Amino acid sequence: MQVNETLSEGLKREFQIIVPSSDVEAEVEGRLLELSKTVKMKGFRPGKVPLSIIRRQYRPSVLGEVLERTIQKSSQKAIEERELRPALQPKIEITDYSDGSDLEYKMDMEILPEIEIGNLSEVSLTRPVAEVDDEKVNDGIQRIADADKKFTKVEEARAAEVGDALLIDFQGTIEGVELEGTSAEDFEIELGSGSFIPGFEDQLIGVKAGAHLLVNVDFPKDYPQQEAAGKPAVFEVDVKELRVREDVTIDDEMAARQGFDNLAALSDKVRERLKAQFDEASKARLKRSLLDLLAERYAFDVPTGMIEQEFETIWAQVKKDLEQAELTFEDATGQSEEEAEEEYRQIAERRVRLGLLLSEVGRQNEITIERDDLLNAALESARGFSNPQQVLEFYRSNPNALERFRAPVFEDKVVAFLTELADVADNVVDVEELFRDPDEEEAIAKEDTAKEKKAATKKKTAAKTAAKPAAKKKAASKKSDDDKSDDDKSGDDKKPAKKKSAAKPTTKPKAKSAKSGAKSAKSAAKAAKDE
């Protein structure tokens, strides 16, 4: 076998490989001889079919198999001899071959970059943390109490207000056609809860028991039922009862209704769940800070093929989300499609670079993934399902499905390894800041910097002006009408400020989306109730 390197440019490699015809022919004849021992053919005993007949009948198919196997073995040998690490599957192109001649083919590939890791213990990070105080625990308990609310019938004939509940029957239609899931009887709806289609509850404010009315609404564009998404609907509503909320006393009895021995036990559980949520948020923020730092610190060539693969995955999801929402790039992002594509391509490159870096750190430090690691990840994932045990059993009995957790588990292990090495300082923040999206913080920081620069410029200009002679200031103030006109024209030529971009599509890779402290307390309270 002859191997000639025809290209070595950055991470790109190209080889011309020639396999002698004698090697190919020997492989073909060996395979035909094996067939002759087992093939069954009418008129011949098993194993007694003449090789000439075997050759005539089976050579074309055997030759195809041999060529494929020869290319696979020879290309792998060329890679191993040169200790190359292909980034993706090499591209093979047969450049010259006819039966009986040498096999010549071209092998194109990109190799993984050599990454100098350096001293990782020099990394300094700040971890935002929030304390779980009594006020937050009490807020969580209050939300449990709010969820425990009961409504009783109002006997007086008064109009419904926000905070009241109505017992209703309703039937919805779209273009006169009834749609499954748009009708119900004896349905209790709380006005102001936002639990129904936008605009539905608003039209029930002010009605009285016994009322019959038509409610006109538009289904949201992202409504799960495609038949209804984005379409106008009419609901025929019968109001049967007006109900008012009963106050719920927060005491041992309320806690018992949630499955706890007493109020103290409920408080402990809420505190525990809040702490777990805060710790998880701190961990996520620390991870984001680490990845941002690594992205800034390490610059190396990244295989273009890997970037393209990652981009195509991201881009396909972005376009799918926009199509489902019936939005354009301009509507969703304030950007043209070309601008958005460039931004997401940069995101893809960052992802690939960080992935390669973390992979190299893991390889050099012999970080491995055990089956128990995958099962623990599967268990965590299963908690979000109604029957987590069934989901876990599925993963236990399907090794291929379990493998989907390998990459994220490996990443978390490497990140944990790096944060252990790093100098990490805790910074106590409020809950809102803890759950704030880092991208939002970055935008705020940029805005503050711009304001500071503007203020500094103003201050400098004011000082400069104050230092000028009074006569000069007076003269400067006496502009002619022609000068003013020129200034006005100049002002007309100024381009309008670029509009602030709307929120990016949710597929944009970033840290965990921000959640308010109230929402965190609410989910913790719910979790406590569920347990």
Same domain, 379 and 273: yes
Same domain, 508 and 405: yes
Within a domain: residue 477? Answer: no
The sheet carrying 103-110 orders its strands as 2-9, 12-19, 103-110, 91-96
Same domain, 416 and 346: yes
Among 247, 276, 298, which residue terminates a domain? 247
* Rounded CA separation 473/446 (Å): 35
Same domain, 126 and 222: no
Q: In 399-480, which ranges are continuous DSSP H helix?
A: 399-402, 406-421, 431-434, 438-466, 470-477
Measuring CA to CA, how many Å separate 481 from each of 344, 484, 488? 51, 5, 10
Within a domain: residue 303? Answer: yes
Same domain, 58 and 185: no
Q: Token pair of 214, please? A: 């038509």
Within a domain: residue 479? Answer: no
CATH of the domain at 156: 3.10.50.40
Beta bridge partners of 2: 18
Beta bridge partners of 241: 167
* Domain coverage including residue 26: 2-110
Within a domain: residue 470? Answer: no
Could you list the mean pLDDT of each consecutive 10-residue stretch along the chain, which spans 531 residues? Answer: 93 96 92 84 78 87 92 95 94 90 95 90 91 93 86 90 93 88 90 90 94 93 80 94 89 91 95 94 94 92 95 94 84 87 94 95 94 91 83 89 93 94 93 83 53 52 41 37 40 36 35 35 42 46
- DSSP tag of 196: S
Same domain, 273 and 377: yes
Among 225, 247, 269, which residue terminates a domain? 247
* Rounded CA separation 16/5 (Å): 6
Same domain, 345 and 388: yes
Contact 411, 402 (CB under 8 A): no
Contact 41, 49 (CB under 8 A): yes
Contact 176, 204 (CB under 8 A): no
- DSSP tag of 155: -
Within a domain: residue 468? Answer: no
Nearest residue to 343 (alpha-carbon basis) of 314, 369, 382, 309: 314
Within a domain: residue 265? Answer: yes
Within a domain: residue 486? Answer: no
Same domain, 213 and 129: no
* Rounded CA separation 237/182 (Å): 11
Among 247, 272, 300, which residue terminates a domain? 247
Q: How confident is the model at residue 448, as a pLDDT?
A: 56
In this structure, which amino acid lies at residue 324?
Q
Same domain, 355 and 395: yes
How many domains are contained in the chain? 3
CATH of the domain at 7: 3.30.70.1050
Same domain, 441 and 528: yes
Q: How confident is the model at residue 507, as a pLDDT?
A: 37
Same domain, 318 and 454: yes
Q: Are strands 103-110 and 2-9 parallel, antiparallel or unpaired?
A: unpaired
* Rounded CA separation 260/528 (Å): 9
The count of other CB atoms within 10 Å of the CB of residue 43 is 7
In this structure, which amino acid lies at residue 211?
A
